[in-house]
Amino acid sequence: MAKEKIAVLTSGGDAPGMNAAVRAVVRAGINKGLGVVGVHRGYNGLLNGDVVEMNLRSVSDTINRGGTVLYTARSKEYNTPEGVEKAARYCNSLGVKGVVVIGGDGSFRGARDLTAHGVPCVCIPGTIDNDIACSEYTIGFDTAMNTAMEMVDKIRDTAQSHDRCSVVEVMGRRCGDIALQAGIAVGATSILVPEIEHDLERDVVSRILATQATGKKHFIIVVAEGVGGVEEIARFVQERTGIESRATVLGHVQRGGSPTLRDRVVASMMGHKAVELLISGASNRVVAMRDGRITDIDITEGLSMERVFDKNLYQIAMDISI
């Protein structure tokens, strides 16, 4: 790619650390002699001309901030052949030679389509869900897990005081990774995830009764969003065990807050890598973490991969939470 102008946008659900990735793209791009345009509100910005020229100072004081300074959206209009064409025309009119897209797999599909219309794209996995098959890590996951852990720690205080069972839903869409990791970290008696079939009697009630028999009096059950139904689960537990139970849906608190060190560092590395890829002439690539290293993979190939849930870690969780 000629050293000209690139654009950066954040798309889909926001994630802590997105700002660190934007910052890295802006700083790395400018330091390598490129102009960098920030696109507001995801692909919508390419349809509405909602863009801003970035300079080194545009991203000052953002590495520590949650959310995304570029704003984000899930664009319905962009997800049509006309929308993609319009966005590509706009990129050409701006002289944008490449776009860095920070988001989840829906955003990656948008990037693949834009690339097919002649605008080279490189994606960065940014979602709290950790549900991108081609990358072991997605920006925001660490912060979200830590937030979930802190929130459940608070819930545990009151569950303990009242000898109750707390059934807590954490985010993750169809992915159980936040539930698994946060569940281990809070010592949950049961963790329910969409990747592992469960039976409430066997996997929740029996485990509660078994631990109660050893003297435990309060219980945390962590449920992934992809399983859901925490109110019903809490009612079931109360009916079957006689233990007073409460349900909590943690919700969007998990999407906010200052990113952890891990999210800031991985985002910085991924943003830097995305710029290097565009400069090298690469396109239709996802920056990914594989075997603990930052690398890249074709978007289409990445999208066709299937996520592998860590069943071994799940088994460890079950073995030690009794």
Question: In the complex, which residues of this chain contact ligand F6P (CB under 6 A)?
Answer: 13, 104, 127-129, 171-173, 225, 255
Q: How far is C-alpha 131 from the geometric centre of its chain's CA atoms?
A: 7
- In terms of CB distance, is 187 or 228 closer to ligand F6P? 228
* Least distance to ligand F6P, CB of residue 104, Å: 6
Distances from the Cα of 152 to the Cα of 12, 157, 177, 218, angstroms: 26, 9, 16, 13
Q: How far apart are CB 140 and ligand F6P at their closest, in Å?
A: 8
Nearest approach, Cβ of residue 171 and ligand F6P (Å)? 3
Closest contact distance (angstroms) between CB of 252 and ligand F6P is 6
Helices 105-116 and 81-94, packing angle to 10 deg: 70
The 3-class secondary structure across the chain, one letter per residue, is CCCCEEEEEECCCCCCCHHHHHHHHHHHHHHCCCEEEEECCCCHHHHHCCEEEECHHHHCCCCCCCCCCCCCCCCCCCCCHHHHHHHHHHHHHHCEEEEEEEECHHHHHHHHHHHHCCCCEEEEEECCCCCCCCCCCCECHHHHHHHHHHHHHHHHHHHHHHCCEEEEEECCCCCCHHHHHHHHHCCCCEEECCCCCCCHHHHHHHHHHHHHHCCCCCEEEEEECCCCCHHHHHHHHHHHHCCCEEEEECHHHHHCCCCCHHHHHHHHHHHHHHHHHHHCCCCCEEEEEECCEEEEEEHHHHHHCCCCCCHHHHHHHHHHCC
What's the CA gap between 292 and 290, in Å, rounded?
Answer: 5
User: Closest distance between ligand F6P and the C-beta of residue 254, in Å?
Assistant: 7
Catalytic sites, residue numbers: 129
Neighbours of 162 (CB within 10 A): 14
Considering the complex, state which of residue 91 and residue 128 has its C-beta at the smaller distance from ligand F6P: 128
When the beta carbons of 51 and 148 are compared against ligand F6P, the nearer one is 148
Nearer to ligand F6P, 117 or 173 (CB): 173
Q: Which of 12, 29 has the CB closer to ligand F6P? A: 12
> In the bound complex, what is the minimum distance in angstroms from residue 206's beta carbon to ligand F6P?
29
**For ligand F6P, the closer CB: 245 or 260:** 260
